[in-house]
Amino acid sequence: MTFAGGLGFLLIGADYCSAPDWDYTISFVMATLTYLTAPWSAQVFKDRRWHWIPLALFWYYFTVDGCYWLYWQSIKPEALDMREANFYASSCLYWLCGFIWLHNGPLNKLVRRRDNYAASQVERLTIWQMVTRITNTIVLFGMTYLIYSAATGSERMTEVCRQITPGMNVSQLMIFAEHHGLGPRRHMNSQTKLAYLAEARTMGRHACRVELEGGKVRNATYNYAD
């Protein structure tokens, strides 16, 4: 049920979001690999099966980045400018889904069981539990960062787009884009007439629409991919 719901949201997002690295195929591939491998990878770390950790890390990397790179490298290489943003977001979702799918039963029973356990046990943290809690905290902060970036993206990118001034040449524009984490920029050249420079930290939803003429910026406006 949770897999079907999550996959449905990904497919809807691929349909309505114009992010350069989001389509039906990669949504289905990454969601399916997460469903098949994330619970096992989470179980490996939870049970401290040290000899299986290299394989668990391989499946983690291949699911959140390896298959993504292989797909876009063969289909549309310029989409790989969003690779870093995808890696952070997909990593959070991979481990979150992995630990949720470890539980065999309704989610409300999982929450209830955790509450009962906490109330009946005197907490004595092992080193492994401390590491787990630190990791969970890092993941939580990462998700908070992504939510904050999305909520403030419009105001931030409007100001960034204002700084792209008419007369700026392609080389200057590429340096500016790299400094502000905007892409894709790999294939911009003096012949480019129109470019969408999207913010990686918001996975391409907030961007600058840049019109060029003769290798120089003619106009730049803020664009939101709804």
Q: 187 and 115: one domain?
A: no
- Claim to verify: residue 112 and residue 209 sit in the same structural domain: no
Residue 203: predicted pLDDT: 78
9 shares a domain with 100: yes
State residue 217's pLDDT score.
95
pLDDT, mean of residues 170-188: 86
- Tell me if 146 is assigned to some domain: no
Q: Are strands 182-183 and 206-213 parallel, antiparallel or unpaired?
A: unpaired
Number of domains in the chain: 2
* Residues 210, 165: Cα–Cα separation, whole Å: 10
112 and 169 both lie in a single domain = no
- From 123, 145, 171, the end of a domain falls on 123
Q: Are residues 73 and 175 in the same domain?
A: no
Can you tell me the distance from the alpha carbon of 182 to that of 153, in angstroms, rounded to the nearest whole number? Answer: 13
Beta-carbon contacts of 177 under 8 Å, excluding residues fewer than 6 positions away, are 183, 185, 197
pTM of structure: 0.50
Q: What is the pLDDT of residue 58?
A: 92
The answer to whether the beta carbons of residues 201 and 144 sit under 8 Å apart is no
pLDDT band at 193, cuts 50/70/90? very high
- The answer to whether position 140 is within a domain reads no
Q: If pLDDT is split at 50, 70 and 90, which confidence band does 121 have?
A: very low
Residue 68 domain flag = yes
26-52: pLDDT as tens digits: 888 898 999 889 999 999 988 888 889
* Between 164 and 109, the higher pLDDT residue: 164
Rounded CA-CA distance 69/79 in Å is 9
pLDDT > 60? residue 108: no
- Domain enclosing residue 115, as ranges: 2-123
**DSSP conformation class of 63:** I
